[in-house]
Amino acid sequence: MSYQKIFLFDFDGVVIDGMYEYWHSSLLACEKYLDSPYISVDQKLYKKVPTSFKEIRPWVKYGWEMILIVHEIIKRENPLKNHNQDDFINNYHQNCQRILNDNSWTAEDLQKILDKSREYQINKDFKSWVNLHNPFFEVINFTKELNKRGIKTGIITTKGKIFTEKILTQLNICPEFIFGYESGTKVKIAENLTQTYEILGFIEDRKKTLIDIKQNSQTSHIPCFLADWGYLKTTDRYNLSNEIKLLKLDKLEELVAI
């Protein structure tokens, strides 16, 4: 059987820089839908992404975590700032769970209000919402070069599929498929795709995801590339196994030789 060749991409941090959109949409969700008594939203907060949010971003896996982080940053009492940021990061997953429990929230509920925040913006002013994302044009050009060579592209993201589709359409990118957070884990999605595609590579900025792919017997053969331009922890660039390659933005074209 001859399998169709395909290249896989993460989305946020790989195809586009959505840092400002995540801050803006999560802040709006906190203001409009969260109904928390512990925060007050100053409109000046919308104008600039705090350093603390940028520095915590590499630890985030799912969109709902952004709302939780924004909530902690804008709290009136003991907000998340430089003096307590390391403590938060060092026990990131435990702290996220604790905050969920303390506020009687669920991950599903936070994800729904993040989606609701995006829907509100899209309905109100779609162009302004799209412009909150900054594309990596080198990646866009790379996908077009792959297309010229008859190699398909696919997107696997923890962003909602509907929102990813809207951004890609504006960028005039038409992947073979888009899998959002609704479709399950990236490892399982990749495993299913190996049944029908020859996967030439997966570009992702979350090191743990690539490690999981390499440790899964059904996906360990997939070439994995860690996006150097993405949301990386300081330590991510070091101690990489030989199976995961650190990829520079200006070296993308070299992958076409695959």
What is the predicted pLDDT for the residue at 242?
A: 86
Please give the model's pTM, rounded to 2 decimal places: 0.92
- Please give the mean pLDDT across all residues of the chain: 94
Q: What's the per-residue H, E or C state across 98-122?
A: HHHHHHCCCHHHHHHHHHHHHHHHH
Least confident of 6-10, 50-54, 80-84, 97-101: 80-84
Residue 149, helix vs strand vs coil: coil
Residue 52: pLDDT band with limits 50, 70, 90: very high
Residues 6+ apart with CB under 8 A from 122: 129, 163, 166
What is the predicted pLDDT for the residue at 82?
A: 82
Domain definitions of the chain by residue range: 4-17+134-257, 19-130
153 vs 146: CA distance, rounded Å: 8
**Residue pLDDT, tens place only, 2-42:** 689 999 999 999 999 999 999 999 999 999 999 899 999 99
**Residue pLDDT, tens place only, 195-246:** 999 999 999 999 999 999 999 999 999 999 999 999 999 899 988 888 999 9
**Residue pLDDT, tens place only, 151-197:** 999 999 999 999 999 999 999 999 999 999 999 999 999 999 999 99
CATH 3.40.50.1000 fits 4-17+134-257, yes or no: yes
Residue 253: pLDDT band with limits 50, 70, 90: confident
Place of tokens 């909150």: 132
